[in-house]
Chains A and B, each alone.
Chain A
Amino acid sequence: MSTTTPSKLESILAAGHFAVTSECGPPRSAEGTVVDEKARLVGPYVDVINVTDNQTAVVRMSSLASCIRIKQLGFEPVLQMTTRDRNRIGLQSDLLGAGAFGINNVLCLTGDHQRFGDHPSAANVFDLDSTQLIQTVKQMRDEGKLLSGYEMSVPPKMFIGAAENPFADPFEIRVLRLAKKVAAGAQFIQTQCIYNMEKFKLWMRQIVDRGLHEKVSILAGITPMKSIGMARYMKSKVPGMDVPDEIIKRLQGVPKDKVAAEGINMAVEQIQELKECPGVRGFHVMAIEWEEKVPEIVERAGLYPRPKVD
């Protein structure tokens, strides 16, 4: 399979390997070294590192700035971009900036509503939605043109990603929406973290039935449960999250000091199980504020060392 960009993620997928990606949440300050430390921790164990973009509408160091730091350390970042805070001018501008620093992966998102964040009275932008952002990046890369039609002398070469939530309602629309994003130009998908394996596999079957798995690489989202409190919180307080009772029961079934370890066990088991799931091309390990566990998860899941590609 040939590649469209210099992206390492694209090359790994094109070579037929399982891809492993992870996430870095930038700090709520101007302290760049926080990003560096997280990157060094997970970098050797993953192919690319996502940097979130003011996640849950909470002001953090910008994704682009953090991606640049990661790139300068020798790792490969994924620039997450929401359409909540920037209009098409700002978004294209940032894509050019990313290209200038050799950043070759972008994850196109709509973004959580600003009501959830620490600046709920902000005006939101939503000039574009995630699907339109995908179209924009594709046009910039393949036609060398901005949305206005202006021809760039050096277009950014972005491997285009999008997110999907197999657990949000309405279920029957999820596959339709994925198809739309693929038609718009999405090349890889990172899913919301999975706990309901049956529902996820059902979603995957529908994707495979439509042949979408051949047009886009699906990376399954994995987040280890650190505590029973976290499991409960995610079950009831996070929109679009599906946490079956069995997960909580299993965590409750071990001694208190072993709960975190059990969470890791479960994450590793999930990866092993999903390796067999048709259409799954990799794993997006989101160990929120628990990045130090990423190496262990990747190793125990048999995904280390990461393959080398040109």
Chain B
Amino acid sequence: MIMAKPKPIEEIINEIKNFDNILVAGCNGCVAVCEAGGLKEVEILASALRMYFGNQQKKIEIGEVSLTRQCDKEYLAELKDRIGAYDAVVSIACGAGVQFMAEMYNKMRVFPGVNTCFIGVTDEKGVWSERCQACGACILASTGGICPVARCSKRILNGPCGGSSNGKCEIDKEVPCGWQLIYDRLKELGELWRFEEPTTTKDWLTSRDGGPRKLFKEASQI
């Protein structure tokens, strides 16, 4: 899932403070899973904003809604009749959702309410960590199912580097060394031969470096 975390409320307040009618729009997809942008978070943010502006003696209407997803037009379209009542939207969907909302309602000011962080997993309730960098050319088959692009701080493909210490990355003792994980896993799987072959250069064209990406599936196009 895409993991995000709430923006500091001061940042949000700064963007919307001159408006009179705000809609806080959540998303029941990824951001609900990481408890940053679902309906619960919409209600909490809206309540906090009302209290803040109330204390500032500013009259402001804060509406609340949460869509199934903000990355599909069918769901964004559900707002069509109601969005006109607002001056601005604070979308607490991920960056993709915020942008799609802004694209569909292009005369409406749409502000982000979360910082979108990474593609990751739920380690346990309340803890999420990064797993995938969307490089577009998955090499998990050769690394025992552990991604060096996402889990090595230097995304090296012939790791570990000289800074790996006690299984931890040099940047932070809390960050496991991605290559230690890969080595241990390959050892368990009896595939250390993969470790011994030098890996040649990666083609970064399929990743962010190649430019904004697009996918097509003809068989699905109407």
Is A–B contact present in the complex under a CB 8 A cutoff? yes
Q: Which residues in A have some Cβ–Cβ distance to B below 8 Å?
A: 84, 88, 110-113, 115-116, 124, 126-132, 135-136, 147, 163-165, 168-170, 173, 176-177, 179-180, 183-184, 192, 239-240
The yes or no answer to B161 lying at the interface (CB within 8 A) is yes
Q: Is the CB of A170 within 8 A of B158?
A: no
The yes or no answer to B170 lying at the interface (CB within 8 A) is yes
Residues of A within 8 A of B166 (CB): 169
The answer to whether A126 and B201 touch (CB under 8 A), given A113-B170, A164-B162, A239-B170, is no
Count chain A CB atoms within 10 A of each CB in B153, B157, B201 and give the residue with the most.
B201
Q: Is the CB of A240 within 8 A of B204?
A: no
Sorted nearest first, the 6 A-B pairs with minimum C-beta distance are A129-B156, A131-B158, A165-B162, A239-B170, A110-B161, A126-B154
The answer to whether A169 and B167 touch (CB under 8 A), given A129-B154, A163-B162, A192-B162, is yes
Please tell me which stretch of B66-74, B112-120, B121-129, B192-200 contacts chain A, meaning at least 4 of its Cβ atoms lie within 8 angstroms of it.
Answer: B192-200
Give the size of the chain B interface in residues (CB under 8 angstroms).
31
Q: Is the CB of B163 within 8 A of A113?
A: yes
Residues of A within 8 A of B156 (CB): 110, 126, 129-130
CB-based nearest A residue for B163: A239
Residues of B within 8 A of A131 (CB): 157-158, 198-199
The yes or no answer to B160 lying at the interface (CB within 8 A) is yes
Residues of B within 8 A of A132 (CB): 157-158, 198-201
Interface flags for B149-181 (1: CB within 8 Å of A; 0: not) read 000011111111111111100110000010110
CB-based nearest A residue for B162: A165
Shortest distance from the beta carbon of A217 to any chain B beta carbon, whole Å: 19
Known: A170-B183, A239-B170. 15 other contacts (CB 8 A): A113-B163, A116-B171, A131-B199, A132-B200, A135-B198, A135-B201, A168-B160, A168-B164, A168-B165, A169-B164, A169-B165, A169-B177, A176-B196, A177-B160, A239-B165
CB-based nearest A residue for B153: A113
Instruction: Return 26 A-B CB contacts under 8 Å, by A number.
Output: A110-B156, A110-B161, A112-B163, A112-B170, A113-B170, A113-B171, A115-B171, A126-B154, A127-B202, A129-B154, A131-B157, A131-B199, A132-B198, A147-B201, A165-B162, A169-B167, A169-B180, A170-B167, A176-B192, A176-B195, A183-B198, A184-B198, A239-B163, A239-B165, A240-B163, A240-B164
